[in-house]
Chain A
Amino acid sequence: MSKKLKVRVTDLEEQLKRAVADYHNLESRVEKEIGNFKRSSLLSLVDKLLGVLDDLQRAENNLKDRGLTMAVNQFQEVLASEGIEEIKTDGVNFDPQAMDCVEMGKGKKNIIVKTLLKGYTLNGQVVRPAKVRVGQGGEK
């Protein structure tokens, strides 16, 4: 076999290996991406539903209606059963992973004084960070 041909064969072998490897990599990537896709399509729906929940909770706080409270609780239970949890913010340290600081106010430095909009996680991952007011410190 001439030298040229040998080079060609090695070249082609390399290409074939690459193609097969690419394919295997693609297979695992596709699997991963389907997972991501499922998650992200669920996230976008959850995000929209959370907007409705916010409004229902605002109504609940204003109207103090027992029936409405029951409906809101039911809504929250459904979300919880899908792995959606509220991010705990009361009195904890500000954490940019899970919270978005919208304003500062009186209170201990770096501690959440008020939750302006509840944040949620889906199976431990942040769907929507909580919008919070953080203490500016200084006064006691």
Chain B
Amino acid sequence: MGKIIGIDLGTTNSCVAIMEAGKPKVISSAEGGNLIPSVVEPAKGLVGDLAKRQMVLNPKNTIYSIKRLMGRRYKDKEIEKTKTMVPYEIVSGKDNMAAVKIGGKVYTPQEISAKILQKAKADAEAFLGEEVKEAVVTVPAYFDDSQRQATKQAGEIAGLEVKRIINEPTAAALAYGLDKKHNQTIAIYDLGGGTFDISILEIGDGVFEVKATNGDTFLGGDDFDRKIVEWLVEEFKKSEGIDLSKDLQAMQRIREAAEKAKVELSTVAETDINLPFLVQRDNKALHLEKKLTRSKLEQMTDELIERSMKPVEACMKDAKLKPADIDEVILVGGQTRMPKVQKRVSGYFGKEPNKSVNPDEVVAVGAAIQGAVLGGEVRDVLLLDVTPLTLGIETLGQVRTPLIERNTTVPTKKSQIFSTAADNQTQVEINVLQGERPMAADNKSLGRFVLDGIPSAPRGMPQIEVTFDIDSNGILNVSAQDKATGKEQKISIQNATNLSNEEVEKMKEEAEKHAAEDEEKKAKVESKNNLDNAVFGAEKMLTDLKDKLEDKDKEELEKAVKESKELLGKEEAGKEEHEEKTQSLSALTQSIGSKIHQAAQSAQSPQGETEEEGKKEKKKNGEETKEQAEEGEIVN
């Protein structure tokens, strides 16, 4: 069975989304953006961005805002008003319904909307690589039966079976998962490109009821842009005495700059509007250079924001509710990204609005969720668990080394090669840890076991493969295997993923709280380990190359090793001291090493290893494990 797509068929822009493996995904159009302008040129079959680009050229044949005509009679007041706004011809069609006339041919609003839906369908098919036959389409809450019927017909013309028509505010609530809560009253504030809607919904046992709806069909983000444009034109007139409003080219640049500034001021407090060489006067170029602050923008558009609050108050009155009765507030539409809009809305309702889902896409996402529910896809999705906390083992210096990171989907398996920390170490202890803290002792130990019988070898030589395997029941199997002998030990831990939410939260909180001091502690241990490694390398050099070392070098190296060991013994020694010593010791071994190396090269004799020990590469199942084997456990 194919996917059911969700389509937000908007007045200005449309958006299409699908559910994939239980997660909503908004589909990009062939032109690259996530929104399809709701513009159609039916004679040439142009839809979206392409239709919009030729609108000026072809105003009588380019249809936009068709949603305002859907399922309406020619005599409706709304049609009267629309007629004065649009350049294309609106006529009375079959059964006195509003229709558009292009080049002598009459198109119903359904046919025009169908072109947009067809494009949404085609984009979804290109993305999915399969045919799409069914859709959920959204409509404003105030749409009557005839308008809903018309929307459904548009879908059919587009070759889509409309499985359900849902209200835009309901879709927004679904996108936030509010259907899972009981007996909630929700306000949806939707300020789009050209229209404003406010709706009050009530949810009880997954059923949505629209309590009241209101709005202003001629208020939107475009009005905000216009305020900035007017301001820029006014300021330029004041400073240069030139009226730009007659200059089409200059106005085009100003409009674009105004929208860009508006968008920027949602994230920064101040922006520069620079339009060099905007116009000429007496053969001299004039530039527009203005600084616009967020507060200035807020002053300019205050009237617009206040205008949206009147329908809000009326809507609350219709619903017979007080602001305090509202449990959740949702923001929809790009203009709600403006901090002042958010502040005004939260101020009125006395609570922070939901705004985590992209306000341009939230309605399409909700429609896609509804589509997945109708398609029974929820059943098809295998519900998989994730590990709530990081799982790892304890390594040299009581450091926690993670193997399976938090939020990894199970079942999963991960292996890593470790080694010994001391010469002739014949056994290692594996301490299985759960938690987010970098030091072993701060995490929860789930269990421990010993792998023994490791043949005597210098430290860093043995290869011990530690494998963590969590099965779908949340059982963690940890095994350690000595690659040389094949000897293996393992432990099975039940319910490694099964923690209560409180436990997980508590552990995460603690990790955050101690993050800084933990890092410090870990860094200190690591610096100590590094010095220890350097000492080991130097000592190895002293024994392996004792015949080749010059007496002076030998003396110097022995002294450095002695000093380093003393430092390692000092508990109060800090990270910096360790690092300094490691550096000087490494530099010394390197210089001596290269000296011997040169001597050896001329003599063509083999030479010993001066590199730090413990660096092994290992490939497993074609995958590279960590490039470096870590030092393993010191055994009790």
Contact = CB atoms under 8 A, between A and B. Distances in A.
Contacts of A99: 53
Contacts of A97: 50
Contacts, number: 51
A104 interface: yes
Interface in B233-274: 248-249, 252, 274
Contacts of A110: 57
Nearest to A18: B380
B516 interface: no
B277 A62 contact: yes
Given A62-B277, A62-B285, A96-B51, A101 B252 contact: no
Contacts of B54: 94, 96, 101
Interface residues of B, number: 22
B21 interface: yes
A31 B380 CA distance: 25
Contacts of B285: 58, 62
By DSSP majority rule, is chain B's interface helix, strand, loop, or mixed?
A: mixed
Given A18-B380, A43-B32, 6 more contacts: A15-B382, A55-B277, A100-B53, A101-B53, A116-B249, A126-B31
Contacts of B274: 55
A9 B538 CA distance: 62
Contact of B277 (A43, A58, A96, A131): A58
A22 B53 contact: no
A59 to B, nearest CB: 6
A94 B252 contact: no
B122 interface: no
By DSSP majority rule, is chain A's interface helix, strand, loop, or mixed?
A: mixed
Contact of A116 (B50, B252, B382): B252
Interface of A: 15, 18-19, 22, 36, 40, 43, 55, 58-59, 61-62, 94, 96-97, 99-104, 110, 116, 126, 129, 131, 134
Given A96-B54, A102-B252, A40 B32 contact: yes
Given A96-B54, A104-B56, A59 B276 contact: yes
B57 A134 contact: yes
14 contacts: A15-B382, A18-B380, A55-B277, A62-B285, A96-B53, A96-B54, A100-B52, A101-B53, A101-B56, A102-B248, A103-B56, A103-B248, A126-B31, A134-B57
Given A96-B50, A116-B252, A131-B252, A102 B277 contact: no
B46 interface: yes
Contacts of A104: 56-57
